Structure 1
Amino acid sequence: MTVTQSSIDLTTSTGTMRCSVVRPTNDGAFPSVIFYSEIFQITEPIARTASYLAGHGYVVIVPEVFHELNEIGTILAYDDVGKDKGNDDKFTKPLTSHDSDTAAIVDWVDTQAFCNGRIGSFGVCLGGHLACRAALHPRVQAAACLYATDIHSSTMPAGTKPQTIEILENISGEIMFIWGRQDPHVSLKGRKLLYSTLNEVNANYTWHEFNAQHAFMRDEGDRYDPELATICHRLTVDLFHRSLR
């Protein structure tokens, strides 16, 4: 399918949140996927991934994950300055504010004729954590979480709710985790902790590990692995086809 892109500004409990919306140009109503970005917000690799997924028959909504902390439209560079700013934002914004962002997107989906009401979540890096967190919302039926940071370590500010790893039993849909074994941000010990917790709460999950570095899906930079990226895109599309159609 060919796709079309637009932007929307949603009202959240913490301010205006701009989202990119990429959807099929075909007539009809489609499942929706909330796509949570890295700490750098909606970069070109994120935008290309959104278009790729939308072309498989999904309305893809990409929020500016740190809209409270930056001017609308802010995109951080893949350099040390951008990384430092993004990490500062990550450790400033509480998870409860991400929860209210998700709720605002779900409410918007329900008003759109081109959305059929079925919702999934997808994310990379920080966004992998947020996709997992979004799966706590009862309307999110499937989540694809790629090299998700800080779930195992509980290092993001939680706000008034527990850390994500403490409430995984509240996820009712199917969830998938994809990891790079050479990722320094999520150690083997951290992956084992999350894996064990998922089993303890009897989660409906799948788990994939590859010999790859952090951000190996990002089609820019030295860590990009096109062959593994193709496999993981297929796993993600298969999950959403299975769970949202």
Structure 2
Amino acid sequence: MLIRSDEFEDIETPTGPMRTYIFRPADEGRSYPGVVYFSEIFQLTDPIRRFASFIAGQGYVVAVPEVYHEYEPAGTVLGYDQVGADRGNELKYRKPLKAYDDDATAVLKWLARYKACSGKLATLGVCLGGHLALRAAFNQGVLAAACFYATDVHSATLGEGKKDDTLKKLPELKAETMFVWGRQDPHIPYEGRRLIRDRLEESQIHFEWHEYNGQHAFLRDEGPRYDPALFMLAIEHIKALFAKALV
């Protein structure tokens, strides 16, 4: 399937315009389910762009918002280095939790009305984006969420003040939700993963849970932690989840 990856939209949010990049099938005569893909702390890097293109090629309209649009000029990409990581982590804890939620609501509403979108919606995310994809799935109308090595969920430290309520809100989750973790990920240790899973079980909601021998960011096809075999397995998981939930 041929795709287009040359479009973007500046979506209005309560904290200003949010540059959002669109990846979609090139066929202008059809509509497809929509996926909001939340990036890691570095925003729209080349690996995020390639992964978004890959998902779009499976028959989805993928919208990738800039998570730090209030703090960085549109088009800013942070580097995969210490300077980029320090800036990304600084902003992760500076941004208010409400602003993250407002952004998710805005991009979901926009995507539901986008010309090539059928109106059926899912979320997807990696690292910080895994947590944001989970929180975005609390929005009514989100049918599925794929959350990869979601940071700060177990510690409840996302956003300004490092005090989020994601764990407390899990009983509200209606979307078919999938969690994928790397056992060698130092950011989400065994105790943290167990805490999240216990809370999910107590909430009696539908979810999938996958753990593999992998590092943090094993999907990032750049750098020493990339695992191509797990990448392909992850793609199959996503395809199966979305095919089931977005029919």
Question: Shorter chain as normaliser: what TM range?
Answer: over 0.9
Cα deviation, residue 119, structure 1 = 0.3
- 2:184 is matched with 182
**Residue 47 (str. 1) matches residue 32 (str. 2):** no
For normalisation by structure 2, the TM-score amounts to 0.96
Separation in structure 2 between the aligned mates of residue 93 and residue 82 of structure 1, nearest angstrom: 16
Separation in structure 1 between the aligned mates of residue 74 and residue 92 of structure 2, nearest angstrom: 17
| Per-residue deviation, residues 194-222 of structure 1 (Å, max 9, x unmatched) | 00000001121000000010001100000
Count how many residue pairs are aligned between Structure 1 and Structure 2: 244
Cα deviation, residue 157, structure 1 = 2.7
Contact 1:96 1:158 in 2 (8 A): no
- 1:11 is matched with 12
Of 201, 224, 228, which aligns to 1:199?
A: 201
Q: What is the correspondence of 1:105-120 to structure 2 with a 5 Å cutoff?
A: 105-120=107-122
Separation in structure 2 between the aligned mates of residue 123 and residue 230 of structure 1, nearest angstrom: 16
Separation in structure 1 between the aligned mates of residue 239 and residue 172 of structure 2, nearest angstrom: 24
Separation in structure 2 between the aligned mates of residue 110 and residue 60 of structure 1, nearest angstrom: 11
RMSD: 1.2
**Residue 23 (str. 1) matches residue 24 (str. 2):** yes
Q: Mark the CA change 1:158 to 1:176 in structure 2 (over 3 Å): closer, same or farther.
A: farther
| Per-residue deviation, residues 88-108 of structure 1 (Å, max 9, x unmatched) | 010111221111111111221
Separation in structure 2 between the aligned mates of residue 112 and residue 155 of structure 1, nearest angstrom: 33
Of 215, 218, 222, which aligns to 1:216?
A: 218
- 1:228 is matched with 230
Contact 2:142 2:175 in 1 (8 A): yes
Separation in structure 2 between the aligned mates of residue 149 and residue 62 of structure 1, nearest angstrom: 18
Separation in structure 2 between the aligned mates of residue 152 and residue 109 of structure 1, nearest angstrom: 29
Secondary structure of residue in 2 paired with 1:12:
coil
Separation in structure 1 between the aligned mates of residue 166 and residue 181 of structure 2, nearest angstrom: 18
Between 87-96 and 40-49, the greater mean CA deviation after superposition: 87-96
Give the letter for the 1:211 counterpart. N
Runs of 5+ in structure 2 lacking a partner?
none
Contact 2:25 2:61 in 1 (8 A): yes
Separation in structure 2 between the aligned mates of residue 151 and residue 91 of structure 1, nearest angstrom: 13
Give the letter for the 2:65 counterpart. P
Separation in structure 2 between the aligned mates of residue 232 and residue 103 of structure 1, nearest angstrom: 26
Separation in structure 2 between the aligned mates of residue 162 and residue 212 of structure 1, nearest angstrom: 27
Cα deviation, residue 122, structure 1 = 0.2
Q: Which consecutive aligned stretches of 4+ in structure 1 deviate over 3 angstroms post-superposition? A: none
Between 23-32 and 150-159, the greater mean CA deviation after superposition: 150-159
For normalisation by structure 1, the TM-score amounts to 0.97
Contact 2:19 2:75 in 1 (8 A): yes
Separation in structure 2 between the aligned mates of residue 3 and residue 221 of structure 1, nearest angstrom: 26
Separation in structure 2 between the aligned mates of residue 134 and residue 162 of structure 1, nearest angstrom: 14
Secondary structure of residue in 1 paired with 2:208:
strand
Q: What is the correspondence of 1:70-219 to structure 2 with a 5 Å cutoff?
A: 70-157=72-159, 163-219=165-221
Instruction: Give the fraction of aligned pairs with identical amino acids, expressed as a percent.
Output: 48
Give the letter for the 2:189 counterpart. S
